[in-house]
């Protein structure tokens, strides 16, 4: 992502890599949490300090949601840095309008609706200034909501009762009247 010369306003942009970072919890299973990481290189033609914020973006139903987790320190550019977060839930993301720069209070739905994952960089440039954000090694792991521990035991119990009922019925039909 390259940011052209600006007029002293904050610029944010989202990179949705190639559409392959997608997941549909309604089809593939509800999401319990998300673990993600990527490497980021920033560079500019001016002196800057960009905080080490992990910014993963989910686009769902035409609405963008972003997480901004401060990892401390500031990036002065010129080197790749690994940014990561784990255990992200729906509440880790908040609605964000990239046109107006205004956030909301809504969160994505981790149980239904297709979602597309992207990454975001945020900076402020002035006249004649340019800023580049380069992302590499993007890794997103979706952790599905686990079945309750008692569910397999319950299913086994139902199967055993069904087998006993079948044997009893079969035995009764074999006894001469």
Q: Domain 2-146 - what CATH class?
A: mainly beta
**Buried b or exposed e, range 123-151, using 16+ CB within 10 angstroms:** bebeeebebebebeebebebeeeeeeeee
Tell which residue, 40, 66, 36, 59, has the closest CA to residue 51.
40
pLDDT one-digit tens code per residue, 108-156: 999 999 999 988 877 777 777 777 888 888 899 999 876 565 556 666 7
Task: Assess contact for 46 and 8: CB atoms under 8 A.
Answer: no
Predicted pLDDT of residue 131: 79
The dihedral through the CA atoms of 147, 150, 156, 158 has a sign that is: negative
pLDDT one-digit tens code per residue, 143-161: 987 656 555 666 677 777 7
Count CA within 13 A, CB hemisphere, residue 173: 6
Helix (H, G, I), strand (E, B) or coil at 169: helix
Predicted pLDDT of residue 87: 95
């Amino acid at each position: 992502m390259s940011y052209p010369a600006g007029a002293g306003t904050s610029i944010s942009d989202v990179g949705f890599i190639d559409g392959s970072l997608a997941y549909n919890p309604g089809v593939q299973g509800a999401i319990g949490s998300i673990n993600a990481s990527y490497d980021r290189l920033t560079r500019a033609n001016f002196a800057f300090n960009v905080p080490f914020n992990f910014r993963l973006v989910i686009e769902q139903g035409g609405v963008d949601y972003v997480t901004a987790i401060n990892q401390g320190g500031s990036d002065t550019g010129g080197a790749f840095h690994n940014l990561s977060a784990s255990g992200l839930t729906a509440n880790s993301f908040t609605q964000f309008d990239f046109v107006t720069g205004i956030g909301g209070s809504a969160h994505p739905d981790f149980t239904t609706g297709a979602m597309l994952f992207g990454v975001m960089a945020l900076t402020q440039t002035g006249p004649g200034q340019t800023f580049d954000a380069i992302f590499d090694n993007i890794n997103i792991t979706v952790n599905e909501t686990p079945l309750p521990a008692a569910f397999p035991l319950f299913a086994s119990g139902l199967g055993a009762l069904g087998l006993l009922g079948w044997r009893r019925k079969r035995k009764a039909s074999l006894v001469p009247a």
